[in-house]
A and B are shown apart, each in its own frame.
Chain A
């Protein structure tokens, strides 16, 4: 018998029916909601006089619009405030569990899902947000949807889907000392391109993936969408189970044991067939820095910006104010952002704090900020004294939210400003109109804050 991939297993266990036209009706276990992509869905449901299918499948949190400082003053921007108020009102009226802005467990939706045990292995998870791919790190089938589909899930607990193809990206060997999950995924995107995964669900495997922490795996799956694939997946192993255990909403007692028995089956079978397999060697990867306006325009920190006659290179460089042949290490920065659903978990903050410990942010840096991914991440970091390390070095220590990853709140770049950012997108204007983004790991962003320019943080003498 032909083996099944992990994706096949997750798909099959949620298949309500296969339609004659090649589409399938897929059951959705968990629906995560935030303020930006949900108001029109709730409105649509009301206009159609439809009801919420299963209340407890839904969990909401405001994250995109909310301020990361002086939160007690409320949201200053009236349009942002209305959007967050609308989420609160919708959740109150449909009795949906919501981590409101004032809740100590509030945070970025893709951070709090796993952290609260609302994301569990084997689930189908959707959210009106492309970075829903993050949750695949726990062996769940998770993907981003538009607002029409948000409404579809609210009303039916199902989605009409066409099954995507299976891709396996195998990263063999060991990552070199100091190389992070962020470098790994940027390297992969650089190789396969931002459309390399279009039409596929990508499972990540191989020793280098198995060696990653759960936080690292979330970073990899988070940026799967930047490679064009809606869903990223990593097989369940002991690390997954250890991570999920004792989370506020994870199963307990006999139910835990029963769940684990099932979760342990969530790997691709030995003889599973993938439509495409790509292999990489982990030891080839160095600290990565994007230099353009698409995550695929990325290179090793020791390199120069490549020469190319491709129009898209020149277009990107014009926007970025850079030139072909320029060494990455010569790029001078204005701002530093450590945060986002890609890199704002406790391990990310530890990695950055280790770099800045006892040092000072360069005078040439206008603003260096750390935005923890959630209330619990912030609290844990404070208990470990990381906040002091950042503050003493000259960083601002903020409250949790999406913040300058997409600059929907007050945190943004001004035109022409250049930022080392641990976020996921370096598109034109992403962090503020005219702003220039370089995507890097937390360690690289931290070191860039100290020096004012990029250095190879894996060199022991980078600080000299």
Chain B
């Protein structure tokens, strides 16, 4: 692979069904339980997303999920939300463990955007490495969107990252904030490692200096 070569898919404008997960503090253990972390691969986590909430039995890695008993009360099992690509939830989404398996599972399921009142730091950061757009909105906005998803079957939003807006079918526009470097990374599908490696000389020269100042660091 060449320096700066694109590894992640570029984030493109899309319209998707919104599924409300009306709950605060959803942790990464809930998003993808620990037994599935034993995999040495990046893919294949989708069927186990929210495993303990989604199914009535206990799931194990590699298990065929097609005939497992579903928890019909769980939002993603409801017919109207089954093809959702936007998840809508409350504060502190993704708290807990640093497992990148959480965004991998969401992506594998088909979630491309998560709207929440707030996100946990590590999870938020991990989303961008995988082409998922996490959007933080004020609680009253989230509240109103949750209402809309419940009232309107098939409630969808168009996500326009370049303009930083969400648009519903009534042309209601909801603007959102995002740091420019994060936006660029998603829009361009940037390979961050490649970017850093374009600074090889700078890193090497820093490292030589660092070694002189703090020689004990390198002594293990």
Q: Which residue in A30, A158, A199, A406 is a CB contact (below 8 Å) of B121?
A: A199
Q: Is the CB of A50 within 8 A of B207?
A: no
A162 partner residues in chain B, CB cutoff 8 A: 179, 181
Establish whether residues B61 and A160, one from each chain, have CB atoms under 8 Å apart when the complex forms: no
Is A458 on the interface with B (CB-CB < 8 A)? Answer: no
Most buried by A among B27, B96, B125, B220: B220
Q: Does A65 contact B (CB under 8 A)?
A: yes
A97 contact set on B, CB distance < 8 A: 220
| Interface: B174 (CB within 8 A) | no
Give Cα distance in the complex from A229 to B218, angstroms: 28
Q: Tell me whether A427 and B29 are in contact in the complex, defined as CB-CB below 8 angstroms, given that A56-B220, A160-B192, A162-B179 are known contacts.
A: yes
CA distance A33 to B216 in the complex (A): 21
Chain B positions 172-220 with a Cβ under 8 Å from a chain A Cβ: 179-181, 184, 192-193, 195-197, 199, 202-203, 206-207, 210, 213-220
Known A130-B97, A148-B100, A428-B29; judge A312-B203 contact (CB<8 A): no
Check if B99 is an interface residue, CB within 8 A of chain A: yes
Q: Does A29 contact B (CB under 8 A)?
A: yes
Interface residues of B in 128-180 (CB under 8 A from A): 129-130, 179-180
Number of B residues whose C-beta is below 8 Å from A? 62
Q: Are B216 and A195 in contact (CB under 8 A)?
A: no
Q: A49-B1, A156-B196 are in contact. Are A427 and B30 (CB under 8 A)?
A: yes
Interface centre among A83, A129, A147, A162 (most CB of B within 10 A): A147
Minimum C-beta distance from A145 to chain B (A): 6
Q: Does A19 contact B (CB under 8 A)?
A: yes
Give the CA-CA distance A372 to B213 in the complex, in Å: 37
B49 to chain A, nearest CB (A): 14
Partner among A144, A151, A157 whose Cβ is within 8 Å of the Cβ of B98: A144
Q: Provide the residues of chain B in CB contact with A147, threshold 8 Å.
A: 42, 100
Interface centre among B39, B99, B121 (most CB of A within 10 A): B121
Which 9 pairs from chain A and chain B are nearest by CB? Answer: A148-B129, A251-B216, A146-B100, A39-B40, A21-B181, A146-B126, A144-B98, A147-B100, A195-B92
Are A25 and B92 in contact, CB atoms less than 8 angstroms apart? no
- The main secondary structure of chain A at its interface with chain B is loop
Contact A56 B210 (CB under 8 A): no
Question: Which A residues touch B214, using CB under 8 A?
Answer: 13, 29, 122, 259, 262
Contact B207 A27 (CB under 8 A): yes
**Does A172 make an interface contact (CB < 8 A)?**
no
| Chain A residue with Cβ nearest B216 | A251
Partner of A152, one of B23, B39, B196: B196
Q: Are the C-beta atoms of B38 and A130 separated by less than 8 Å?
A: no
Given contacts A130-B97, A158-B196, contact A83 B130 (CB under 8 A): no
B184, A408: Cβ atoms under 8 Å?
no
A198 and B93 alpha carbons, distance in the complex (Å): 11
Known: A37-B98, A195-B95, A425-B29. A149 touches B52 (CB 8 A): no
* CB–CB A408/B34 < 8 A: yes
- What is the CA–CA distance of A429 and B34 in the complex, to the nearest angstrom? 9
A311 to chain B, nearest CB (A): 8
Q: Which residues of chain B come closer than 8 Å to A249, judged between CB atoms?
A: 219-220
Given known pairs A82-B40, A83-B40, A255-B219, the reply for A27 and B203 (CB within 8 Å) is yes
In this complex, which of B52, B97, B118, B129 has the most chain A Cβ atoms within 10 angstroms of its Cβ? B97
Please determine whether A152 and B193 come into contact, CB atoms closer than 8 angstroms: yes
**A195, B34: Cβ atoms closer than 8 Å:** no
Residues of B within 8 A of A56 (CB): 218, 220
* Most central of A13, A148, A428 by chain B CB within 10 Å: A148
Which residues of chain A are within 8 angstroms of B202 by Cβ–Cβ distance?
16-17, 25
Contacting pair A129 B192 (CB below 8 A): no
A267 within 8 A of B: no
- Sample of 25 A–B contacts (CB below 8 Å): A13-B213, A16-B206, A22-B179, A39-B40, A39-B41, A56-B218, A82-B40, A83-B39, A122-B214, A128-B100, A130-B122, A146-B100, A148-B100, A149-B129, A152-B192, A152-B193, A155-B197, A194-B95, A228-B121, A230-B122, A249-B219, A311-B23, A406-B97, A408-B35, A429-B52
B120 on interface, CB distance cutoff 8 Å: yes
| B70 interface residue (CB < 8 Å to A) | no
Q: Which residue from A37, A158, A294 sits with its C-beta under 8 Å from B99?
A: A37
* Distance (whole angstroms) from the CB of A289 to the closest CB of chain B: 19
Per the 8 Å Cβ criterion, residues 123-179 of A in contact with B are: 123, 128-130, 132, 144-149, 151-152, 155-158, 160, 162, 164
Inter-chain CA distance A425–B30, complex, in Å, is: 12
Complex contacts, A157 vs chain B, CB 8 Å = 203, 207
Q: CB-CB < 8 A to A230: which residues of B?
A: 121-122
A464 to B183, CA, bound (A): 62
A97-133 vs B, Cβ < 8 Å mask (1 yes, 0 no): 1000000000000000000001010110000111010
Query: A40 on the interface (CB 8 Å rule)?
Result: yes
A23 within 8 A of B: yes
Q: Which residue of A lies closest to B192 (CB)?
A: A160
- Report the Cα distance A164→B125, complex, angstroms: 13
Does the CB pair A255–B181 fall under 8 Å?
A: no
| A1 shortest CB reach to chain B, Å | 21
Seed contacts A59-B220, A82-B40, A258-B216; 8 additional CB < 8 Å A-B pairs: A17-B202, A47-B1, A120-B217, A146-B129, A148-B100, A294-B95, A427-B30, A428-B30
